[in-house]
A and B are shown apart, each in its own frame.
Chain A
Amino acid sequence: GAVVSQHPSRVICKSGTSVKIECRSLDFQATTMFWYRQFPKQSLMLMATSNEGSKATYEQGVEKDKFLINHASLTLSTLTVTSAHPEDSSFYICSARGGGDAGELFFGEGSRLTVL
């Protein structure tokens, strides 16, 4: 079946640095990709929705300048956490959908970010 690859699975960085997380659809073209974030013992929260070739739509409360999302191609979306701080430490997961609004949704394995 379709696979969504997310990289890196774990990343540790220093406070103030930027971290990029990649989400790739390996065998289908993803017209839409979603980025989620989870804090310990809490639900996964939708951060933003990105469509290929256009700007991402961010959920209320998510800082656009801090969480940069790029969906430059039909198989790749990236999330860049800029000037990371310890409170940004979290579990980030992406999902990808192909085939229009009725297309099946596939999830990546998630990325664990720890900011020291």
Chain B
Amino acid sequence: GQNIDQPTEMTATEGAIVQINCTYQTSGFNGLFWYQQHAGEAPTFLSYNVLDGLEEKGRFSSFLSRSKGYSYLLLKELQMKDSASYLCASLDSNYQLIWGAGTKLIIKP
């Protein structure tokens, strides 16, 4: 079957670093996405990885290991506005996005 696993909730301190992990099992693989979603809003695209390794975009970095079916999103210098849900999604062989349930990130001062 197809499955995406990520933690339900995480808490971190403003200014710190947090890593959100995601493991996936899908029928075929065409890439791994991370989205940020604030309550009541549309998701915002953060990253797309299809090759192994780390991709850095400012305070956010995303890592992929295809052999392990594993990805993580790394957020540095956390700000209060980073409080949101972070969604991991795998693109399968039919180009359908298989979504995780999302990780609610709570930032404390």
Binding site for B on A (CB under 8 A): 34, 36, 38, 40, 43-46, 49, 91, 93, 95, 104-107, 109-110, 112
Contacts and interface: CB of A to CB of B under 8 A. Distances in A.
A104 B30 CA distance: 8
Given A46-B96, A105-B91, A91 B30 contact: no
B42 A91 contact: yes
Given A38-B43, A40-B42, A110-B45, 17 more contacts: A40-B40, A43-B99, A44-B89, A44-B97, A45-B97, A46-B95, A91-B43, A93-B45, A95-B95, A105-B31, A105-B48, A105-B95, A106-B48, A107-B33, A107-B45, A110-B42, A112-B42
Contacts of A93: 45
Given A38-B42, A44-B89, A91-B43, A105 B50 contact: yes
A93 B42 CA distance: 11
Interface residues of B, number: 18
A84 B52 CA distance: 41
Contacts of A109: 45
Contacts of A104: 50
A43 B43 CA distance: 10
Interface in B67-103: 89, 91, 94-99
A36 B91 CA distance: 12
Contacts of B97: 36, 43-46
5 contacts: A44-B99, A105-B31, A105-B91, A109-B45, A110-B45
B41 to A, nearest CB: 9
Contacts of B45: 93, 107, 109-110
B99 A49 contact: no
A70 to B, nearest CB: 19
Contacts of B94: 46
A109 B42 CA distance: 11
Contacts of B91: 105
Interface string B4-33: 000000000000000000000000001101
Q: State the 8 A-B residue pairs at the shortest beta-carbon distance, nearest first.
A: A91-B42, A44-B97, A43-B99, A112-B42, A109-B45, A107-B48, A46-B96, A34-B95
